[in-house]
Chain A
Amino acid sequence: MGNVDIELVTQLEDKAIDIRKDLCTYIYRIATAGHLGGELSMVDVAVALYYKYMNYDPTNPEMPDRDRLILSKGHCGETLYTIYSDLGMYTMDYMVEHFNTLATGKFSMHPNRKYIEAIEASTGSLGHGLPIATGLALGARMSGEKWRTFCILGDGELQEGTNWEAFMAAGQYQLGNLVAIVDKNDLQMSGNTANTVTVDPLDEKLKAFGWDVIEINGNDMREVCEALESLPESDPHVRRKPVCIISNTVKGAGVAFMENVVGWHAGSLSKEKLEEAIESIENTRKVRQ
């Protein structure tokens, strides 16, 4: 840890700022409620994965040895769509035109792998991503392939019992080629996760389930990069503990009026609110400088 290239971090930070702005613009343009709170909280991790740490080629999304990403918190698909757009896979206009349109819809609140090449598994029902990711990691091991499987989960989502069935099984199988990332923004739809049904102490629970745990500030790009760089090489023949990155984030991160506001679990944006959001996101760049 600690050896991350500062220039890389700065580049990825800039990219995350662009993605946050594009994401808000997309939600404004599709004129429907996105899950902005959770979509914004996971931006930094998603940017670090797609632009640096996943073996991924946007011009060849079916590349056999690509790393796989399963978005278990499927309601935050628009973060990924925005990244795919920035990577040149779809134009923003195309994604707006094809959002929930009857005849030609490809993009929707929850991602569908049949319509979007980059999506590895259709998700939306919570508690499904980690079992699927566990199966993918077993499949890679079975074929002796080196690719890694990442799974992004929400913290509220961990109240679904199937996650713990998968944590147990992946720990048992010592799937060192599996990385779970919990986007832990501490809020869920109706309030604080801690006041609903707490998932804490998450690190101790995961360790007890046979996982290695890395805990970071998931809205600090340097810490995100350090965590992802520290992952041991993915070797299907080596059995070791799977890794869970507890990514402590702020729901609505980057947009001051959304940060830690329960009501911004989901919402749409007016023109005025979009402008305010973009100004707020730009301010994060200025603060950094």
Chain B
Amino acid sequence: MTTRVTLNFDEILSSAREVYGTELRKMAEEGLEFAFTCSDNVAPSSTVGKFMADYPDRCFNVGIAEANQVGVSAGLALSGKVVFSQVFGPFLPLRAADQIHADIAYNDVPVRLIGTHAGVTSGGGPTHNVIADLAFYRAVPNLTIVCPADANQCARVVRESMVYPGPMVIRIARGAEPDVYADNDYEFKIGKAIKVKEGTDLTLIGTGSSVYWSFKAAEELAKQGIHARVLDMHTIKPFDEEAVLQAASETGCIVTVEDHSINGGLGGAVAELIAESSIPCRFKRIALPDEFCVLGEPDEVYRYYGMAPEGIAETVKDFLK
């Protein structure tokens, strides 16, 4: 059954950082107890920055020190708080890898690391790309990994995480991204993929911003008589194996799309699952190749690597020939 969703085709752009900041304020006004940390990476003019100014007793800027930020967040969580921790994405998974592994995951504490600037969205070149994080996170026990498809979904993840056990990483893009869902009137559960479009010829699986690209590619393909199912795989761990296996058996072809290295991310997770199943299924990954990525604005980079909707549609057509 396809979950009924209302898709927004008008490309209304929203920033996950701005929307989740508003949600944090609402949650605080409702009396929910949580702490917030950052490492000098929150603009004072942003919703989160204003929240920090209005709630100084629960918000802590530890300076430009991401590893310390993650360790301090673990300590705050051990004192009994749920902790939201906005980290500049490029310096979260690798610089603070040991802290994520030992302090947050091994201690199994409710810290929500909100890693910004996912993939190549920073536009800052390879030092500022976040392309190896999913490969690392997937191998860390206890860690829940969520890549919201749009800003409003990010706010839902933030709210739902107040009662979700254990540590979590929430992977969001740099700034304004197209709204996938026009409203919140759809079923959302961490760990459960959303079927945003029904189709029988193949399944496109996206995560984070690539859900929107996948949907746009599916629309293009539909004009040419190819009917693609589209899955919003917002949670990378725990992974919705059932949705993937169902797609494999019902459509016989899966193409994954992600703003991440081709190694070890969404595509890797799906490939491992299909390979170990007995379901015959053609499979292809669309992702950043195993190289330090070309320089350019994100849209240009996506086009260059065939990750923009038209490139995805092109690849799918060739693959199905």
Mark A residues whose CB is within 8 Å of B: 68, 70, 112-114, 120-125, 128, 130-140, 142-143, 149, 161-162, 165-166, 168-169, 172-173
The closest CB in chain A to the CB of B37 belongs to A135
Contact stretch, chosen from B101-109, B124-132, B239-247 = B101-109
The closest CB in chain A to the CB of B58 belongs to A142
**Could you tell me the distance between the alpha carbons of A161 and B65 in the complex, rounded to whole angstroms?**
10
Which residue from A68, A137, A142 sits with its C-beta under 8 Å from B35?
A: A142
A136 to B78, Cβ gap below 8 A?
Answer: yes
Residues of A contacting B98 in the complex (Cβ-Cβ under 8 angstroms): 125, 128
Mark B residues whose CB is within 8 Å of A: 35, 57-58, 60, 62-63, 65, 67-68, 70-81, 98-99, 101-103, 106-108
Distance to closest chain A CB from B37 (angstroms): 8
Residues of B contacting A123 in the complex (Cβ-Cβ under 8 angstroms): 102
Which residue from B57, B63, B76, B106 sits with its C-beta under 8 Å from A135?
A: B76
With A124-B102, A162-B68, A169-B62 in contact, do A142 and B75 touch (Cβ < 8 Å)? no
**Could you tell me the distance between the alpha carbons of A114 and B166 in the complex, rounded to whole angstroms?**
13
Distance to closest chain B CB from A62 (angstroms): 11
B71 to A162, Cβ gap below 8 A?
Answer: yes
Distance to closest chain A CB from B39 (angstroms): 9
Distance to closest chain A CB from B91 (angstroms): 13
Between A and B, 12 residue pairs with Cβ closer than 8 Å are: A121-B103, A128-B71, A131-B72, A131-B103, A132-B78, A135-B77, A138-B75, A139-B76, A165-B63, A165-B65, A166-B68, A166-B72
Residues of B contacting A131 in the complex (Cβ-Cβ under 8 angstroms): 67-68, 70-72, 74-75, 99, 103
With A133-B75, A162-B67, A169-B62 in contact, do A139 and B80 touch (Cβ < 8 Å)? yes
Distance to closest chain B CB from A281 (angstroms): 33
* Residue from the set B68, B70, B71, B74 with the largest chain A CB neighbour count within 10 Å: B68
B99 to A168, Cβ gap below 8 A?
Answer: no
With A135-B78, A142-B58, A143-B79 in contact, do A128 and B72 touch (Cβ < 8 Å)? no
**Could you tell me the distance between the alpha carbons of A198 and B107 in the complex, rounded to whole angstroms?**
31
Chain B's interface: helix, strand, loop or mixed, by majority?
Answer: helix
The closest CB in chain A to the CB of B34 belongs to A142
* Residue from the set A68, A121, A124, A130 with the largest chain B CB neighbour count within 10 Å: A121
Which residue from B57, B79, B99 sits with its C-beta under 8 Å from A140?
A: B79
With A140-B79, A165-B67, A165-B68 in contact, do A135 and B102 touch (Cβ < 8 Å)? no
**Could you tell me the distance between the alpha carbons of A120 and B81 in the complex, rounded to whole angstroms?**
15
B67 to A135, Cβ gap below 8 A?
Answer: no
With A113-B107, A142-B81, A173-B60 in contact, do A132 and B74 touch (Cβ < 8 Å)? yes
The 7 closest A-B pairs by CB, nearest first: A135-B75, A139-B79, A131-B71, A165-B68, A165-B65, A135-B72, A132-B75
**Could you tell me the distance between the alpha carbons of A144 and B81 in the complex, rounded to whole angstroms?**
13
Residues of A contacting B79 in the complex (Cβ-Cβ under 8 angstroms): 135-136, 138-140, 142-143
* Residue from the set B78, B99, B108 with the largest chain A CB neighbour count within 10 Å: B78
The closest CB in chain A to the CB of B67 belongs to A162
Apart from the given pairs A131-B75, A135-B75, A162-B99, 7 other A-B contacts in the complex at a CB distance below 8 Å: A120-B78, A124-B102, A128-B98, A142-B79, A162-B68, A165-B62, A172-B63
B99 to A128, Cβ gap below 8 A?
Answer: yes
Residues of A contacting B65 in the complex (Cβ-Cβ under 8 angstroms): 162, 165, 168-169
Residues of A contacting B60 in the complex (Cβ-Cβ under 8 angstroms): 138, 173
Residues of B contacting A113 in the complex (Cβ-Cβ under 8 angstroms): 107
With A121-B107, A165-B63, A169-B65 in contact, do A136 and B75 touch (Cβ < 8 Å)? yes
Residues of B contacting A114 in the complex (Cβ-Cβ under 8 angstroms): 108
Residues of B contacting A135 in the complex (Cβ-Cβ under 8 angstroms): 71-79
**Could you tell me the distance between the alpha carbons of A131 and B60 in the complex, rounded to whole angstroms?**
13
**Could you tell me the distance between the alpha carbons of A173 and B59 in the complex, rounded to whole angstroms?**
12
